[in-house]
Every structure is written in structure tokens, then in C-alpha cells.
């Protein structure tokens, strides 16, 4: 596990800094056929978004623009509506009012990674990954794509295993491969690493950063771990009371080292804003 | 003991057989109460050669499997429908639960009035008995499929058919197998009762005929055959279960 983390740190340092340029839109079908190493993220534009559950407003008029390919982290107290926001963006919930433009409009796919891996226990690892391909492709091409996605998340040779025999971290890697196999233009992650132990978490964070750099999708990561948000994201959003309470750009060079003064300062800004709401109480 | 391995479990039955044979031979167990094992074996040979055995087994087997197929598939379909559709459930579940509380064997007099001692009477009883365990367990299996997996399937763009085929049915399968094995047990039980009470062929009929002529050896043979057929059905179900549930850690490494 620790060796994993070290390998990631080494590979990540060798990578050139990521550029945030926007190219012309490529249709999703073309993307899957040529299977490029780097695709195109989708930009997102949210205006006046409101979501009400049983007369109880959860999102209260939210405006947000996310440029293509940006890595955004969303933090906030439990129950503040982070998951609801992701589900709205992915179209799993319908907005009470307001608009979300970008995901459907650009014609690309959006994928969701849940806190739990949610693998089908009765399907092999490769078949689970192939779920991400929908109904497209022949049997052999699906399997090929699945095995390739598996090797990208460091699970070479585990294609024929049952999910039951994998560790928690490995299962979440399979979930990541399943999300990535269709080369999505938007990847939403809802506390995907929350259930993992600390070391596995660090190596998974590295993996997420690496695939994001490789594939260039737009990433929205919900997390309760402020240092994880700052380590990975270009931008940290703090949600409170149904609105964006803090929109913080993170300009640190990648790969980021925790514990540097700049890192700590950003972490403090976020934590102070969080604590401020409760008058000093812990989240 | 260790070296005997899987054979160890057969020591006791074998010993019982030997002692039973011995006690019969010395006349301690009268023949009209319980025949000696050798007498049962002889009876087996007799009915086997006369063709009576094959005839009766095939009749019983046909009744069991047809009744099971009819009752099982109706139960399975109702389980599917009520598990997948709230509307169907509100419409039929209360009625089915009420009917379930009537022991199906209590219907025998009524069934004889309806169908006589015809084949359809036995098929009806077996089907009715098998219906409920399959229905209840299919319904339960579908209801307890992990909703998170269903949501995952939806977010990955599965349509209803894909969702059913790849998520709901496999998820319900362990429970369906529980129903299947319960159903098989009830199938034999119902058939034994029905054939003993009213039949003109089948294992139960063979036993009742033998009773009239005080042929205890054939009676005991019939009981053993019922036991073996029940065991066989259960073994087939287990095999099927192990094959289809290979993903389940509970069925691995065996
Ligand atoms: N489907 C729903 N029906 C009713 N209330 C909901 C539903 N989904 C979320 N909520 C409510 O919305 C609020 C925000 O939930 P959620 O977005 O899951 O918070 P977070 O992910 O930030 O912890 C909570 O109070 C929750 O009870
Ligand atoms: Mg949440």
C-alpha cells in the first residue's frame, strides 16, 4: 500500500504541469472509438439553482461556473447539500428551479463515483468495469477496454476475480475504472475515499489526480477532508446554508506537498470559514 | 478416525443396518412390524424386475415435476410482478397472503370433490403447495436487492430490462433458491399424502397396495424411495445453487 503511494509520488513528479486549455468539442462516440489518452472535459454553468425537499430548501439559489477540465472540490458540513448538488448536476435529481447547463448539452458522458464501490457481486471485475460502457461494443472490444481501464488503475490481471476477494481500496479502484472506461467528460465523486484507511486513501488520491491529468475530464469531488480537497483541487468550494460560502482558488504547483506553509495557509482559510459558522464548534 | 475421511459418516448407518438385520434374523423384530433389510432388498429386486417400480416411480416423478413446474412458475411470476410493481402488489398480495393461511393439505376433501382422484387433483395440490414458498421468497429476494446497486445501474444508463437481468434477478437469486428448496420439500410431502389417500398408481399407491396384502417389505421400500427422491431433488437444487451463486463467498472453495 505504502509502496503504491511512493510509486505515485514518483510518477507524478515526472509529469509536466497540467495546462487548463479548452479545445474544440469532440463527440463522445469518437472518443470511445479512438480511445485517446486525453479527452475533453465539459464546462458547467449553474444559474439560480434551488432544490427543495418537502418544503425544506436544501440548495437556495446557487450560481456556479466550472471551466472545462477543472478539478473542483466541494466541502461543507454534513447535510449541507453537497450530495444533492452532485446529484442535481448529474441529473439524478431535478432542480426545483434554476438551470444547469453543460453536462447534457455537450453530448459527453458524466459519471458518478459513490462513497461505496457499488460493484455487482455476481459479475467479475472486468464485467463490472464493462458496465461503464453501457451497451456499446462487441464482447471482445468491451473486455479489452475494461482490462485497459483496470490496468490504468493498477489492477492488472484481476479482471477475472470476483469483487468479494478484493480489498476495500481495490474495489474502489474497480469503481474508478468503471467510471473512466467510457472516457467521461465529467466525473463526480461523492466522498469516494471516506471509507478507506489513511494509507490507501493517500494512494487513491494520487491515482485520482493522475487519471484526471491523463484524461482531462472535469472533476467535482465532494469530501469532508479539507487537506484532501487542497491536495487535489484547482478550486475549493465551501457550501453553507444552501449557498457557496467560500470559493477558493488553489494555485499550488502539482504534485502538492502537505505541510508546506502555502498548503497550511489555504487549509486554515477553509477551516476558519467552516468553524466561523458554528462560532468555534467543530464540524 | 481421520484416515476414514468422508466414509466416517457412513459407519453408524451401516452398523444400524447390520444390527437391524441381526435382530430380524433372530426373530426379535417380527416381520409384520419391520422387515429385515435383506427382505427390503429382495422386495426391491422383485418390483424392479416386474417393472412395477419403474412404472410407479415415473408416474410419481411426473406428478411431482409437473406440479412443481406449474406451481413454481406461477409463484415465481407473481413474486416477480409483486416485487417489481407496487400496483400489482396492492392488487394481489393481501389475497395471496390470506390463501396462504389455509393449509393446502386441508383442501384434500374439497379437491377430491372437484377433481375426483384424477391426475389433476394431485397436480393441483402439489402446485398449490409449491406456489407459496416460491412466491414469498422471490418477492422477498426482489424487495431486498441493494437499492444502491439499482441506483448505480440507473446512473450507468441501464434500461429496465438490463437492470432486471443484471442487477435485480441476480440479487434476488439466493432468496429464490431458498424458496426453491422449500418448494421441493413441500412437493414430495404433498405428493406422498395425495398418493397415499387417493391414487391408482405411483409410489404412494404401491405402498398402500402392499399394506392391504401385509407386504411390509414393499411399504418400507416405498418410504426409502421417497426419501431418496427427496434427497435427489435437494442435491440437484444445491448443485444448481453452487453453480449460479459461484460469486458468493459462501459457495466458494467447496
Ligand atoms: N431524496 C431526499 N428526500 C428528502 N430529503 C432529502 C433527500 N435527499 C437529501 N435530503 C436532505 O437534504 C439535505 C442535504 O442532504 P445531502 O445532500 O445528502 O447532504 P451532504 O451530502 O452534504 O451531507 C439533508 O438534510 C437531507 O436530509
Ligand atoms: Mg453526502
Check residue B57 and give its pLDDT: 92
Name the 3-class secondary structure at B36.
coil
- Does pTM top 0.90 for this prediction? no
User: A73, A68, A33, A47: which is closest to A185 by C-alpha?
Assistant: A68
Question: pLDDT by residue (tens digit) across A32-44?
Answer: 433 444 557 788 8
ipTM of predicted assembly, 2 dp: 0.79
Is residue B167 within 8 Å of B158, Cβ to Cβ?
Answer: yes
What residues pair up with A62 in beta bridges, in sequence order?
A: A49
Give the Å distances, CA to CA, from B170 to B81, B163, B165. 16, 10, 7
**Residue A109 has what pLDDT?**
82
pLDDT in 10s for each residue of chain A, 283 residues: 344 443 333 333 333 333 332 333 333 433 343 344 455 778 889 999 999 999 899 999 999 999 989 999 999 998 899 999 999 998 888 999 998 887 654 445 889 999 899 999 999 999 999 999 988 888 999 999 999 999 989 999 999 999 999 999 999 999 999 999 988 989 999 999 888 888 888 889 999 999 999 988 999 999 989 999 999 999 999 999 889 999 999 999 988 888 899 999 999 999 988 887 554 444 4
Q: State which H helix or E strand residue A113 sits in.
A: strand A110-113
Residue B17, Ramachandran bin (φ over 0: left; ψ between -120 and 50: alpha; else beta): alpha
B144/A contact by beta carbon, under 8 A: no
- Residue A162, number of CB atoms within 10 A of its CB: 18
Q: Which residues of chain B are under the pLDDT cut of 70?
A: 1-4, 252-254
Interface test with A, best of B148, B156, B159, B172 (most A CBs within 10 A): B156
Measure CA B75 to chain center. 15
Structural domain that includes position B125: 35-242
Distance from CA of A233 to the nearest CA of B (A): 24
Interchain CB distance below 8 Å, A121 and B247: yes
**What are the Cα distances from residue B21, in Å, to A157, A209, B182?**
60, 78, 34
What local confidence, expressed as pLDDT, does residue B3 receive?
A: 64
Neighbouring residues of B89: CB distance < 8 A, sequence distance ≥ 6: B81, B82, B83
- Asked if A131 and B166 come within 8 Å (Cβ–Cβ), the reply is yes
Residue B15 included in any domain? no
Q: Are strands A71-76 and A235-240 parallel, antiparallel or unpaired?
A: parallel
pLDDT on residue B248: 83
B110 located within any domain = yes
Distance CA A243, CA A266 (A): 20
The whole-number pLDDT of residue A277 equals 53
Residue range A202-224, pLDDT digits in tens: 889 999 999 999 988 999 999 98
DSSP letters for A120-177? -TTS-HHHHHHGGGTT-S-HHHHHHHHHHHHHHTT-TT-TTS-GGGS-HHHHHHHHHH
Q: According to the model, what pLDDT value does residue A9 have?
A: 37
pLDDT, tens digit (0-9, with 9 covering 90-100), for A70-106: 999 999 998 899 999 999 998 888 999 998 887 654 4
A204 close to A193: Cβ distance less than 8 angstroms: yes
| A191 CA closest ligand 1 atom index | 21
Q: How many domains does chain B have?
A: 1
Helix (H) or strand (E) holding A220: strand A218-222
Q: Name the residue ranges covered by the structural domains of chain A.
A: 42-109+184-273, 122-183
pLDDT at position B54 is: 92
A164: chain B residues, CB-CB within 8 Å:
247-249, 252
Asked, for residue B222, whether it belongs to a domain, the answer is yes
In tens, the pLDDT along B62-101 reads 999 999 999 999 999 999 999 999 899 889 988 998 888 8
The reported pLDDT for the residue numbered A24 is 35
Instruction: Report the CATH number at residue B55.
Output: 1.10.3720.10
CATH level 3 topology of A42-109+184-273? Rossmann fold (3.40.50)
Q: Which B positions 158-197 lie with beta carbon below 8 A of chain A?
A: 158, 162, 166-167, 170-171, 173
Q: Is residue B142 part of a domain?
A: yes
Contact pairs from chain A to chain B, CB under 8 Å: 46
Amino acid at each position: 500500500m505504502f509502496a503504491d503511494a511512493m510509486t505515485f509520488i514518483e510518477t507524478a513528479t515526472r509529469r509536466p504541469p497540467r495546462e487548463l486549455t479548452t479545445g474544440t468539442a469532440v463527440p463522445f462516440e469518437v472518443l470511445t472509438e479512438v480511445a485517446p489518452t486525453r479527452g475533453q472535459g465539459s464546462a458547467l454553468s449553474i444559474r439560480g439553482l434551488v432544490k427543495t425537499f418537502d418544503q425544506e430548501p436544501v440548495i437556495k439559489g446557487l450560481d456556479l461556473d466550472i471551466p472545462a477540465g477543472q478539478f473542483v472540490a466541494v466541502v461543507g458540513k454534513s447535510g449541507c447539500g453537497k450530495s444533492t448538488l452532485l446529484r442535481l448536476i448529474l441529473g439524478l435529481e431535478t432542480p426545483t428551479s434554476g438551470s444547469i447547463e453543460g453536462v447534457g448539452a455537450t453530448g459527453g458522458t458524466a459519471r458518478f463515483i459513490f462513497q461505496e464501490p457499488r460493484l455487482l457481486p455476481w459479475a467479475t471485475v472486468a464485467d463490472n468495469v464493462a458496465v461503464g460502457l453501457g451497451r456499446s461494443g462487441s464482447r471482445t472490444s468491451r473486455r479489452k477496454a475494461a482490462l485497459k481501464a483496470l490496468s490504468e488503475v493498477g489492477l492488472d490481471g484481476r479482471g477475472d476475480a470476483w469483487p468479494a476477494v478484493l480489498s476495500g481500496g481495490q474495489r474502489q479502484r474497480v469503481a474508478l475504472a468503471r467510471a473512466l472506461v467510457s472516457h467521461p467528460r465529467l466525473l463526480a465523486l461523492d466522498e469516494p475515499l471516506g471509507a478507506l484507511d489513511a494509507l490507501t486513501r493517500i494512494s487513491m488520491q494520487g491515482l485520482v489526480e493522475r487519471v484526471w491529468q491523463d484524461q482531462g475530464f472535469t472533476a467535482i469531488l465532494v469530501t469532508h477532508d479539507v487537506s484532501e480537497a487542497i491536495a487535489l483541487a484547482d478550486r475549493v468550494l465551501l457550501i453553507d446554508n444552501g449557498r457557496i460560502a467560500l470559493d477558493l482558488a488553489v494555485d499550488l504547483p502539482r504534485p502538492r506537498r502537505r505541510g508546506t506553509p502555502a498548503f497550511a495557509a489555504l487549509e486554515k482559510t477553509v477551516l476558519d470559514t467552516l468553524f466561523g459558522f458554528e462560532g468555534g464548534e467543530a464540524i | 478416525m481421520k484416515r476414514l475421511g468422508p466414509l466416517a459418516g457412513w459407519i453408524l448407518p451401516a452398523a444400524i443396518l447390520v444390527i437391524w438385520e441381526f435382530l430380524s434374523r433372530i426373530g426379535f423384530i417380527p416381520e409384520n412390524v419391520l422387515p429385515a433389510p435383506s427382505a427390503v432388498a429382495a422386495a426391491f429386486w422383485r418390483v424392479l424386475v416386474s417393472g412395477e417400480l419403474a412404472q410407479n416411480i415415473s408416474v410419481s416423478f411426473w406428478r411431482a415435476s409437473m406440479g412443481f413446474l406449474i406451481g413454481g412458475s406461477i409463484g415465481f411470476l407473481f413474486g416477480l410482478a409483486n416485487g417489481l410493481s407496487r400496483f400489482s402488489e396492492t392488487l394481489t398480495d393481501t389475497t395471496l397472503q390470506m390463501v396462504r393461511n389455509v393449509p393446502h393439505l386441508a383442501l384434500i376433501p374439497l379437491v377430491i370433490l372437484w377433481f375426483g382422484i384424477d391426475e389433476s387433483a394431485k397436480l393441483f395440490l402439489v402446485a398449490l403447495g409449491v406456489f407459496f414458498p416460491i412466491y414469498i421468497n422471490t418477492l422477498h429476494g426482489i424487495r431486498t436487492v441493494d437499492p444502491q446497486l439499482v441506483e448505480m445501474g440507473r446512473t450507468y444508463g441501464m434500461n429496465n430490462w438490463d437492470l432486471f437481468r443484471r442487477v435485480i434477478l441476480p440479487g434476488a437469486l439466493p432468496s429464490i433458491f431458498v424458496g426453491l428448496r422449500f418448494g421441493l420439500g413441500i412437493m414430495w410431502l404433498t405428493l406422498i399424502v395425495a398418493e397415499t389417500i387417493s391414487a391408482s398408481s405411483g409410489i404412494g399407491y404401491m405402498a398402500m397396495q402392499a399394506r392391504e396384502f401385509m407386504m411390509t417389505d414393499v411399504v418400507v421400500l416405498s418410504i426409502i424411495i421417497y426419501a431418496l427422491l427427496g434427497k435427489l431433488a435437494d442435491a440437484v437444487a444445491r448443485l444448481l445453487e453452487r453453480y449460479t451463486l459461484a460469486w458468493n463467498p459462501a459457495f466458494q472453495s467447496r
